[in-house]
Chains A and B, each alone.
Chain A
Amino acid sequence: MARWILGTFAAIVFAFVYLPIALVVITSFNQDMITTLPIKAFDTHWYSKLLADRKTLDALWTSLQVGVIATAVATALGLLSALAIVRHDFRGKNAFLLLTVMPMLAPGIIMGVSLLLFARFIGFQTGFVAMLLGHVLLALPYCTFILISSLARFDRSLEEAARGLGAGELAVILRVTIPGIMPGIIGAALFAFTISIGEFVVSFFLTSAGTTTLPIRIYSIVKVGITPEINAVSTLILAATVVLSVAALRLTWSKRK
């Protein structure tokens, strides 16, 4: 009895989670301009139209560039943090950990406006680099914690062996440690990329007229009215996010099993 009631409840929650996303995907194949139900005919012409939309493609290109660079920087910084936290004892370690978590907890809008304020104050031009730095800040805590957990599980006797065979400290890190925690590094990078690609609030404050990321482009269109074209872009982002997240999960979880 309890089983069936709870099962029905669970099914409703699943519907709640998937219904809006499913509607985005379905309406992206709607032939009509206006997103009214019921949908009369399905086709993919909004996707072809998307390929001709310069502004949206430019925004996608900017998003990819920001995403790749922010991912590389955040993952590298996260690795340094994780190495310091897992392998060293130092005064203020807890304070450093707290400082690392804080960007995860502070509301996005506060990060956005404070970065804007700071950029203006020191005379730094907002735009590509500013957004990039904002994304690095947002992704850093996630990268750090993923890498802390993979470093903590890494068997250090391999490093001892390499040292015994005469490898220097840097060579040990580069040729033993990093290859050993590669799944964690790739997992952290995929998380960072996913965060950067979907990020809106911070970019919204740090964008400049010339450089727009995809979420900001979507926002400016949705504010006027939802078109099937926007649903098409969103469907593509959705697919990419799901693929990236599943890959990230597989990589970061594989060692535990």
Chain B
Amino acid sequence: MANERGQLACLLVPPLLTLLILFVAPISLMAIHSFWAINDDYLVEHSLQLTQYEKIAADPLYLGTLAGSAGMALMTTIGALALSLPLSYFLVRFVPPRLRVFLVLALIVPGWVSVLIRTYSWNLVIGEAGLMNWLLLSAGLIEEPIRLLFTKAAVVIGLVYIYLPYMLVPIYAAIERLDNSVLEAAENLGAGPARRFAFITLPLIAPGIIAGCIITFIPAMGEYVVPNMLGGLQGVMFGNLITTAFSNFDWPFGSALSMVLLGSILACLLIVGRFLNINRSMLGQE
């Protein structure tokens, strides 16, 4: 028994220490920092206060950008969902299994290329001298190049591009697991395609959809690289504000902004969880 415990300790201690030192301690320190303040000499004052949070609440820029980031993350989630659902359905329904596995991998593997490279590559597509404007100009459809780069729309396109694999994998897995006999039964009983989708397919793949939405929304909301490279001044997200605070050496303020971002992400998760629980209990009562 003692041997067993000793073994477990040997296995557990190194990774646990790594996580505690590199993750728990830094985040905790950041939480503490957010209650400190910086004085006129740019030194951190170690006295607990709410100055930073008051500053965030007082300036509409911060909460406005937070709401804007949530909105962009929501649009990203909807966009990725709108691409993933029909695509997964097509792959499962009409493509033979071997080719299907290859095609799914072909969609996922580019997702492992550096985010930085995948993001800037959109410059070549939607930039002023990019492919889109070149095609439209040569076709005579537009007179002036469209300024899409450095807008909110550019950021959302970039985010959908980066996070598509996050959405695709759980949704594809859910659709692939669907039991076709249930759908056939419904068809035999006279349900049309729309009814079959709404009352059978959708409830069955709902867990996959929810998982996909959560793991797309969370990182999209805290994204920094995409708005930084494609957003310009219009497409600023909350992550950019955090970086600005840290590059101004206002660590307490940057920490408070980070805590607000973490708090909002946690709140979104709790709301989704609560909403799901209510739905489940309603279904249970029926």
Task: Give chain A's interface residues, CB within 8 Å of chain B.
Answer: 3, 6-7, 9-10, 13-14, 16-21, 23-24, 27, 34-38, 77-78, 80-81, 83-84, 88, 90, 96, 99-100, 102-103, 105-111, 113-118, 120-121, 133-134, 136-137, 140, 144, 169, 194, 197-201, 205, 215, 218-219, 222, 226, 230, 234, 237-238, 241-242, 245-246, 249
Contact = CB atoms under 8 A, between A and B. Distances in A.
Residue among A99, A205, A230 with the most chain B CB within 10 A? Answer: A99
9 contacts: A17-B164, A23-B131, A35-B129, A107-B218, A107-B223, A109-B239, A169-B7, A241-B109, A245-B112
B125 interface: yes
A109 B26 contact: no
Given A77-B14, A115-B26, A136-B18, A242 B114 contact: no
Contacts of A219: 116
Contacts of A144: 15
B121 A80 contact: no
Contact of A107 (B105, B113, B118, B265): B265
A107 B30 contact: no
Given A6-B94, A10-B87, A106-B262, A19 B239 contact: no
A-B CB proximity, top 7 nearest:
A107-B222, A198-B114, A20-B121, A114-B26, A118-B26, A6-B90, A84-B11
Interface string B225-259: 10001000000000100110010000100110010
A237 B229 CA distance: 19
Contacts of A99: 16, 19, 23-24
Contacts of A19: 125, 131
Given A90-B12, A110-B261, A137-B22, A198 B116 contact: yes
A249 B101 CA distance: 12
B58 interface: no
B224 interface: yes
Nearest to B255: A117
Given A34-B129, A107-B223, 14 more contacts: A3-B90, A6-B93, A9-B86, A21-B110, A88-B7, A96-B12, A99-B23, A106-B27, A106-B222, A108-B224, A200-B115, A200-B116, A219-B116, A241-B112
Interface of B: 4, 7-8, 10-12, 14-16, 18-19, 22-27, 29-30, 33, 83, 86-87, 89-91, 93-94, 105-107, 109-110, 112-118, 120-125, 129-131, 134, 161, 164, 215, 218-219, 221-225, 229, 239, 242-243, 246, 251, 254-255, 258, 261-262, 265
Given A84-B8, A88-B11, A226-B124, A16 B161 contact: yes
Given A6-B89, A19-B131, A226-B123, A113 B254 contact: yes
Residue among B15, B105, B258 with the most chain A CB within 10 A? Answer: B15
Contacts of A108: 219, 222, 224
Contacts of A200: 114-116, 225
A6 B86 contact: yes
Nearest to A7: B90
Contact of B8 (A23, A36, A88, A242): A88
A245 B114 CA distance: 12
Contacts of B255: 113, 117
Main secondary structure of the interface of B (DSSP, over half): helix
Contacts of B94: 3, 6-7
Given A237-B114, A246-B109, A10 B15 contact: no
B15 A77 contact: yes
Given A6-B90, A110-B27, A117-B30, A20 B118 contact: yes
A24 B124 CA distance: 7
A226 B225 CA distance: 16
A36 to B, nearest CB: 5
Given A77-B15, A81-B11, A136 B109 contact: no
Nearest to A215: B116
Contact of B12 (A80, A109, A116): A80
Nearest to B101: A253
B273 to A, nearest CB: 14
B239 A35 contact: no
A102 B16 CA distance: 13
B86 to A, nearest CB: 5
B231 to A, nearest CB: 13
A112 B117 CA distance: 19
Contacts of B254: 113
Contacts of B26: 111, 114-115, 117-118
A80 B14 contact: yes
